[in-house]
A = this chain, B = another copy of it.
Amino acid sequence: MIPRYSRPQMAAIWSPESKFRIWFEIEAHAADAMAELGIIPKEAAKTIWEKGGNATFDIGRIDEIERETKHDVIAFLTHLAEIVGPDARFVHQGMTSSDVLDTCFNVQLVRASDILLADLDQLLAALKQRAFEHKDTVTIGRSHGIHAEPTTFGLKLAQAYAEFVRCRERLERAREEVATCAISGAVGTFANIDPRVEAHVAAKMGLKPEPISTQVIPRDRHAMYFATLAVIASSIERLAVEIRHLQRTEVLEAEEFFSPGQKGSSAMPHKRNPVLSENLTGLSRMVRAYALPAMENVALWHERDISHSSVERMIGPDATVTLDFALARLTGLVERLVVYPQNMQKNLDRFRGLVHSQRVLLALTQAGVSREDAYRLVQRNAMKVWEQGADFLEELLADKEVRAALSEEEIREKFDLAYHTKHVDTIFKRVFGEA
């Protein structure tokens, strides 16, 4: 997480201020529950909220105490006691640091997820709009980077839309994975804390109680969470790579938006680099990498060890902030992508009708020509196009053997691009529910 690739709302989730505020809320809600259960005085619970609810926690002071105690939660509780006064002794009763830390981490991940879900919604909206805009913009489909058959630019974007719909569903499930709360005390046995405290805190913090914790919330949940972010990053990379390809000098079917200022800055008008897509490619690599330590965090020793902590202090912010930035950048890129339908057509026509050779071949076969002969006929005309730059349609029309099997009308019909786009509506209906 570096400022260059951060957006403030997501970064704020990981600030010390946010963290201490969540810690306070967990403690204060727990106190409420304990008061309700008669474990601590109701007045104390009330005082905690009154004194702490609007307090500004002094990060410097907490750091100072931590340097002494070498324990972050104790440092916070000590500072809280300075604010709340004597009733602070009723805070944290029967709880462990992990109860606070793990529940807080999950609250942060849930909030991060909510931002990411909103990011995805914006990306989906942009993709949908541009997909419909270019639903019928014919372009050459490419396999292996080589011209194959025509498709439409709208279909390209519809595919991306469908992919990010899946990403959104995955993220919702990932959010659910980490939306749990544990207030279960040492080694998770509830020996010193009533399970109803956990239930109350969970409800208040928008979480569900972790069915069984062992002081810590099990880390397979977080492994799944970060693995999901990694898959989303991979989908970002796919679309970024597509744009980078489309912007290549020789292809130039689409281009990242350049502000007029940017445009004017270079003496080489063709030198507009897809730097945003390239940047997204790099950011995707990072988000993908963070999934690995998250998986290695699962195998904690016995009821818990603390090896996961340093990893999460880093990847918690790093993965969510980077993905948020990447999704927002991608959305802007899609929204303002400059599309060049005329270049798409030019590229499509590059081989002067050759793209239709397979249809001609099929038509010949269906007209009773043997497969071998049909191949020979198509190929000898294709070769003239390829080697001499001839026009495929004209060559076919002039080929007597071809004409013996197919009429001019039949041949011309094979050059109709509409043949390739006749199911665009079908596909759009599948993807968007409308066409």
Asked if A195 CB lies within 8 Å of chain B CBs, one says yes
Q: Does chain B have a CB within 8 A of A122?
A: no
Once bound together, how far apart are the Cα atoms of A156 and B422, in whole Å? 44
Pair A220/B211 contact, Cβ less than 8 Å:
no
User: Hey, which chain B residues are within 8 Å of A146, CB to CB?
Assistant: 247-249, 270-274
Partner of A375, one of B267, B275, B303: B267
Interface string of A370-409 (1 = CB under 8 A from B): 0100010011001101100000000000000000000000
Contact B275 A285 (CB under 8 A): no
- In chain A, residues 242-301, which have Cβ atoms closer than 8 Å to a Cβ of chain B? 242, 244-245, 247-251, 262, 264-265, 267-275, 278-279, 281-283, 285-286, 288-293, 295-301
Partner of A227, one of B4, B231, B268, B272: B231
Q: Are B279 and A288 in contact (CB under 8 A)?
A: no
How far is A377 from B269 in the complex, measured between Cα atoms in Å? 13
- Of A21-29, A42-50, A334-342, A349-357, the segment with at least 4 beta carbons within 8 Å of chain B is A349-357
Give the residues in chain B near A51, CB-CB below 8 Å.
Answer: none
Cβ of A430 within 8 Å of any chain B Cβ, yes or no, is: yes
B-facing mask of A221-239, CB < 8 A → 1, else 0? 1011001101100110110
Q: Which residues of B contact A189 (CB under 8 A)?
A: 141, 149-151, 155, 420-421, 423-424, 427
- List residues of chain B with CB within 8 A of the CB of A140: 249
Choose, from A30-38, A100-108, A113-121, A159-167, the stretch at the interface: A159-167
Contact partners of A423 in chain B: CB under 8 A = 189-191, 195
Chain B residues near A186 (CB-CB < 8 A): 141, 143, 148-149, 358
The smallest beta-carbon distance between A265 and chain B, in angstroms, is 8
**Given contacts A212-B159, A279-B309, A295-B231, A190 and B426 within 8 Å (CB-CB):** yes
A297 / chain B contacts, CB cutoff of 8 Å: 282, 285
Contacts of A247 in B (CB 8 A): 145-146
CB of A223 within 8 A of CB of B214, answer no
Does A111 count as interface, using CB distance less than 8 angstroms?
no
CB atoms of A143 and B268 under 8 A apart: no
Q: A64: shortest Cβ distance to chain B, in Å?
A: 14
Q: Is the CB of A298 within 8 A of B159?
A: no
Tell me if A137 counts as interface (CB < 8 A to partner B): no
A159, B278: Cβ atoms closer than 8 Å: no
Q: Which residue on B lies nearest to A5, using beta carbons?
A: B310
Cα distance A422–B420 in the bound complex, in angstroms: 50
A212 adjacent to B273 (CB under 8 Å): no
Q: Are A187 and B305 in contact (CB under 8 A)?
A: no
A241 CB-CB contact with B under 8 Å:
yes
Residues of B within 8 A of A318 (CB): 314
Shortest Cβ distance from A283 into B: residue: B310
Give the docked Cα–Cα distance between A214 and B154 (Å).
12
CB contacts (< 8 Å) of A412 on chain B: these are none
List chain B residues, Cβ under 8 A from A237.
298-299
A13 at the interface (CB under 8 A from B): no
Q: How far is the CA of A150 from the CA of B247 in the complex (A)?
A: 19
Bound: A293/B144 CA distance, A: 19
Could you list 12 A-B pairs, sorted by A, with CB under 8 Å?
A141-B187, A147-B270, A149-B191, A150-B187, A166-B221, A212-B430, A230-B295, A268-B357, A268-B382, A270-B354, A278-B307, A292-B292
A166-B177, A286-B314 known; 7 new pairs, CB 8 Å cut-off, are: A141-B214, A141-B215, A141-B302, A211-B431, A212-B427, A270-B354, A278-B306
Closest 7 CB pairs of A and B: A141-B187, A282-B310, A144-B273, A285-B293, A234-B298, A142-B302, A250-B250
Could you tell me which A residues sit within 8 Å of B by CB distance?
2, 4-5, 69-70, 89, 140-151, 155-156, 158-159, 162-163, 166-167, 170, 173, 177, 185-192, 195, 209, 211-215, 218, 220-221, 223-224, 227-228, 230-231, 234-235, 237-238, 240-242, 244-245, 247-251, 262, 264-265, 267-275, 278-279, 281-283, 285-286, 288-293, 295-311, 313-315, 318, 322, 347, 350-351, 354-355, 357-362, 371, 375, 378-379, 382-383, 385-386, 419-424, 426-427, 430-431
